[in-house]
A and B are shown apart, each in its own frame.
Chain A
Amino acid sequence: MRYYLARRVLQALVVLVLVSLGGFTVLHLAPGGPAAIYAMSPTMSAEDMERLTHQLGLDQPLHLQYFKWAAGLATANWGRSYRDGRVVLEVITDRIPATVVLMLSAFSVAVLIGLATGIVSAVRQYSLFDHAMTLTAMIALSIPTFWLGLMGIYVFAELLRVLPPGNIGTIGAPFALGDRLRHLLLPASTLGVVMVATWSRYTRASMLEVIGEDYIRTALAKGVSRGAIVLKHALKNALIPLVTLAGLQLPLVFSGALVTETIFTWPGMGRLFVDSIGYRDYPVLMGILMFTAMLVVAGNLAADLVYAAIDPRVRHS
């Protein structure tokens, strides 16, 4: 087990190095640059632009820039934002709470609804409910999130005027939980729809597979009540593969959050990423890429280790 752990950690590190190399190269080789956002200012001269590029170190050879940045990364110095000169780690951590609140609320609601509908679908396979859920889930997985969000704003904020069209809370008002929840509802639902669909479908599949197993059939034959079987035996076993789903969904959830945050003016990391692309703020962009990559790699690693602990065969494959 210790050997397996060491190997997996090493692999994870290789992945992170690849991510950083790829991201860095793509960003820096691309046309344009951070000084371009000042180009249209009437007070800016060509000399000023050149001086700024030089001061940012962008005229150095690319590999030197990379090594400098990577060395910083290893010592928890992720550089400074080109836009405002703040420390990158701080720029990112400032935005984490908003994203986490949005993601967690969408996630928890999605898991609850997804599990419930998935179980009912599995137990009542081929019922009208099951068919309806399959269709709904499929459509939910296929609707562009941004369009769903925009329709939501149009219907609930503009036509019915029951929910705010965006923002984390009423502007300029002191903190109030009710106010925050009202603002959370629309973006969280938008983000949650895709997740509900995914969870519902996976739960159903997982449940059906377990229900088909021999021990459940035996229990049924022995006359154990159906409800008890579903909840006590089947669900317990069906949940195991679902746990890994949570880890694997992470990058997708981040993507959804990016679009949702853009539409609902939510001050999270996704919005920061979009803004930073506009400013060509390489250090912040690299910071966000590395941050999410680390989360994903750690999530996968954890899932693998849990699996290895449960199933010894994995370690040797």
Chain B
Amino acid sequence: MTHISRREMLVLLAGSGAAAAVGPLLESGAALAQTPKKGGQVVVALSQEPTVFNPLRPHIEVDRGVHFGIFDSLWRTDERAQFVPNLAVEVPSVKNGGIQKNGLEYTVRLKKGVTWHDGKPFTSRDVKFTWDLVMNPKFGAYTRVGFDAIAGMETPDESTVRVRLREPFAPFLTAWGDAYIVPAHILESAADPNTAEFNTKSPVGTGPFKFASRVAGDHLVLGANPAYHGGAPPLERIIFKYIPDLTVLYTQFKTGAVDVTGLQGISAEFYAEAKNLPGVTIHLHHSPSVEYIYFNHGKPWFKERAVRQALYHAMDKRAIIDQVYYGVQKPVEGYLPSTSWAYNADLPTHEYNPEKARQILDEAGWKPGADGIRAKGGVRLSFTNSTTAGNKLREQAQALVQQNWRAVGVDVQISNMPAAVIWGEYYVKSKFDTLMVGIQASVGDDPDCLNRIHSKYIAAETGSGRNVSQYKNPQVDKLLEEGVREVDRAKRRALYLKLQEALRADLAYLPIFSYVRLEGVKQGMLNYKPNSNVLHNTWNMHEWGWKA
């Protein structure tokens, strides 16, 4: 029990945003880490089924969770938001000469003696091949972000890669930290890399675990790679078990059948019970996603800042977090989670004040009609709010917001849709009124969100970009442009602090909370390290193991 609360404290503190205090505390936690014994297995439960094992093909988060085991990237981002070398000998920087020409050229030196799971050597040719494949118009690659910034790539020798960028692109390191290298010798000879057996049945990587077996719809097994270049992993195997229902997943964790609850973790409604369960540790993991009320600024209701302000004041954020989400989530005022290095902790705090909301609307000329709904110039404050149908807690929060807003004379109709409908054109082409949505604005730990907020990136107007809220603000545009060009982290941070201030003042969207996921881990399992900077907490499974 004391063990649990101590761990919880640590993780809680890690999320509290006091950046200076966090480092040493986590380090002392790391110093306590024990060396796990050899052998054993871990069962990770996932609420979606991983089926895509080629890391470059279109995939979802759970697939990524498996990629971490089988494949390696050149470097990765650790739980302290530091880049640590993986297939590279060191992370390129201006200091070590890896970044030259004002961020236009990167030189990467690769580890020697690394082999693929089939015994063939890993070389610079594989890195070049990976880039070529992603850019190949015939290959159905997942994303080209970070790849299309590259003008050319040379391989002077087997262990050196030289990359030329089209223009300085600060998030380059982050993008390539999430780019997994695939074997040229296997995929080159495949008739069609889109349909190669490699993608679904026989992936071969350089990672700490090898693909062992899979029972479709049920589970898959990864076995240890004793020849791993980072040292043989302590565990003998890892089983990824697919349990679609979060309640069943939790039940099975409770009964001990599952060692780790992955990705969506434990639903908040079980928090009270889960934290008192014997024999398990519950981690409060700060994920990079933030929950918002998203406005469509192209619609008549949200043109005025007064309306946005009134809606924010009328929303009982505290009740959403404490009652609907059982106090698990953390309130935020900006688009970054408190764990981010660019997080602005000094933004004004939300105040729940329906009276003030009414006053603001009155002053702005929105007068209640006969039915109590406010209107101005023929526009009634009556619009829809949408989210993914079937997301239970969110639907409850939605019902609460509906009631909150109704109390100040704003009518909201709930119009939820299945995921594949709402996140299609309805979202991308800005057809919604308002959304309740969780968004990870930045890639990895990078605070860049240019194509989500910049006025040039409104897909409804230009067909490109992801500024689905159609938000336009010249000051914000300028800060975003500067932020993506600046390579120096301290200077970048100042720019993003200002950006968050501007967005908060204008209330471009209403931030509610940053997601804190409850992740359960059986006691005795060592080195489970929640990491906000990666998509999935299986990122370090090469270190996992059981207490001796």
In the complex, what residue of chain A is closest to B427 when comparing beta carbons? Answer: A39
Over the window 210-227 of chain B, the binary record of Cβ atoms lying under 8 Å from chain A Cβ atoms (1 yes, 0 no) is 000001111100000000
A268 interface hit (Cβ, 8 Å): yes
CB distance from A262 to the nearest CB of B (A): 7
Out of A37, A95, A165, A274, name the residue touching B420 (CB < 8 Å): A37
Out of B52, B215, B245, B443, name the residue touching A267 (CB < 8 Å): B215
Known: A42-B440, A83-B51, A165-B251. A267 touches B143 (CB 8 A): no
In the complex, what residue of chain B is closest to A266 when comparing beta carbons? Answer: B217
CA distance A31 to B418 in the complex (A): 10
Which among A166-174, A196-204, A304-312 touches the partner chain?
Answer: A166-174
Known: A30-B421, A85-B57, A85-B195. 16 other contacts (CB 8 A): A32-B420, A35-B424, A36-B422, A40-B423, A43-B145, A44-B143, A48-B144, A83-B51, A84-B52, A85-B194, A158-B251, A168-B218, A265-B245, A278-B418, A278-B420, A279-B420
B516 interface hit (Cβ, 8 Å): no
Known: A267-B216, A275-B49. A42 touches B244 (CB 8 A): no
In the complex, what residue of chain A is closest to B192 when comparing beta carbons? Answer: A85
CB distance from B516 to the nearest CB of A (A): 18
Q: Are B465 and A84 interface neighbours, CB within 8 A?
A: no
A34 interface hit (Cβ, 8 Å): yes
Known: A43-B443, A84-B200, A272-B217. A171 touches B244 (CB 8 A): no
CB distance from B46 to the nearest CB of A (A): 12
A60 interface hit (Cβ, 8 Å): no
Known: A33-B424, A38-B142. A172 touches B217 (CB 8 A): no
In the complex, what residue of chain A is closest to B463 when comparing beta carbons? Answer: A46
Give 26 A-B contacts (CB < 8 Å), ordered by A residue.
Answer: A32-B424, A35-B424, A36-B420, A36-B427, A38-B60, A39-B424, A43-B443, A44-B142, A45-B451, A46-B464, A46-B465, A47-B144, A48-B144, A84-B57, A85-B140, A85-B200, A86-B51, A158-B251, A166-B252, A168-B218, A171-B252, A172-B41, A172-B43, A265-B245, A267-B217, A268-B217
CA distance A30 to B48 in the complex (A): 24
In the complex, what residue of chain A is closest to B444 when comparing beta carbons? Answer: A42
A residues in contact with B425, CB < 8 Å = 31-32
Over the window 163-196 of chain B, the binary record of Cβ atoms lying under 8 Å from chain A Cβ atoms (1 yes, 0 no) is 0000000000001001000000000000000110
A317 interface hit (Cβ, 8 Å): no
B243 interface hit (Cβ, 8 Å): yes
A209 interface hit (Cβ, 8 Å): no
Nearest 9 CB-CB pairs, A to B? Answer: A267-B217, A32-B421, A94-B216, A36-B424, A32-B420, A267-B218, A84-B51, A32-B424, A39-B423
Over the window 404-441 of chain B, the binary record of Cβ atoms lying under 8 Å from chain A Cβ atoms (1 yes, 0 no) is 00000000000001111111111110000000001111
CB distance from B41 to the nearest CB of A (A): 6
In the complex, what residue of chain A is closest to B50 when comparing beta carbons? Answer: A84
Q: Which of A13-37 contact B (CB under 8 A)?
A: 30-37
Known: A32-B424, A37-B420, A80-B195. A45 touches B217 (CB 8 A): no
In the complex, what residue of chain B is closest to A83 when comparing beta carbons? Answer: B51
B466 interface hit (Cβ, 8 Å): yes
B459 interface hit (Cβ, 8 Å): yes
CB distance from A285 to the nearest CB of B (A): 12
Known: A46-B466, A85-B52, A265-B244. A40 touches B459 (CB 8 A): no
A residues in contact with B218, CB < 8 Å = 98, 167-168, 267
A157 interface hit (Cβ, 8 Å): yes
B residues with CB within 8 A of A: 41, 43, 48-49, 51-52, 57-58, 60, 140-146, 175, 178, 194-195, 199-200, 215-219, 239, 241-245, 248, 251-252, 255, 257-258, 288, 417-428, 438-443, 451, 459, 463-466
A133 interface hit (Cβ, 8 Å): no
Q: Are A45 and B251 interface neighbours, CB within 8 A?
A: no
A residues with CB within 8 A of B: 30-50, 52, 55-56, 80, 83-86, 91, 94-95, 98, 157-158, 165-168, 170-172, 262-263, 265, 267-268, 271-272, 274-275, 277-280
Known: A85-B195, A94-B217. A42 touches B52 (CB 8 A): no
CB distance from B39 to the nearest CB of A (A): 14
CA distance A306 to B150 in the complex (A): 69
A residues in contact with B466, CB < 8 Å = 45-46
B residues in contact with A172, CB < 8 Å = 41, 43, 219, 239, 241
Known: A37-B419, A47-B464, A55-B140. A42 touches B424 (CB 8 A): no
B residues in contact with A166, CB < 8 Å = 243, 248, 252
Q: Are B423 and A52 interface neighbours, CB within 8 A?
A: no
Known: A36-B419, A84-B199, A267-B216. A170 touches B257 (CB 8 A): yes
Q: Are A265 and B251 interface neighbours, CB within 8 A?
A: no
CB distance from B96 to the nearest CB of A (A): 27
Out of A37, A95, A165, name the residue touching B423 (CB < 8 Å): A37
Q: Are A171 and B241 interface neighbours, CB within 8 A?
A: yes
Q: Are A265 and B243 interface neighbours, CB within 8 A?
A: yes
Q: Are B420 and A167 interface neighbours, CB within 8 A?
A: no
CB distance from A283 to the nearest CB of B (A): 13
User: Which of B244, B440, B441, B442: most chain A CB closer than 10 A?
Assistant: B244
Q: Are A49 and B140 interface neighbours, CB within 8 A?
A: no
In the complex, what residue of chain B is closest to A50 when comparing beta carbons? Answer: B463
A residues in contact with B252, CB < 8 Å = 165-167, 171
B residues in contact with A56, CB < 8 Å = 140
CB distance from B362 to the nearest CB of A (A): 38
In the complex, what residue of chain A is closest to B451 when comparing beta carbons? Answer: A45
CB distance from B453 to the nearest CB of A (A): 13
A residues in contact with B57, CB < 8 Å = 84-85
B residues in contact with A86, CB < 8 Å = 51, 200
CB distance from A178 to the nearest CB of B (A): 17
A residues in contact with B194, CB < 8 Å = 55, 85
CA distance A158 to B146 in the complex (A): 49
Q: Are A41 and B143 interface neighbours, CB within 8 A?
A: yes
CA distance A33 to B257 in the complex (A): 36
A residues in contact with B216, CB < 8 Å = 91, 94-95, 267
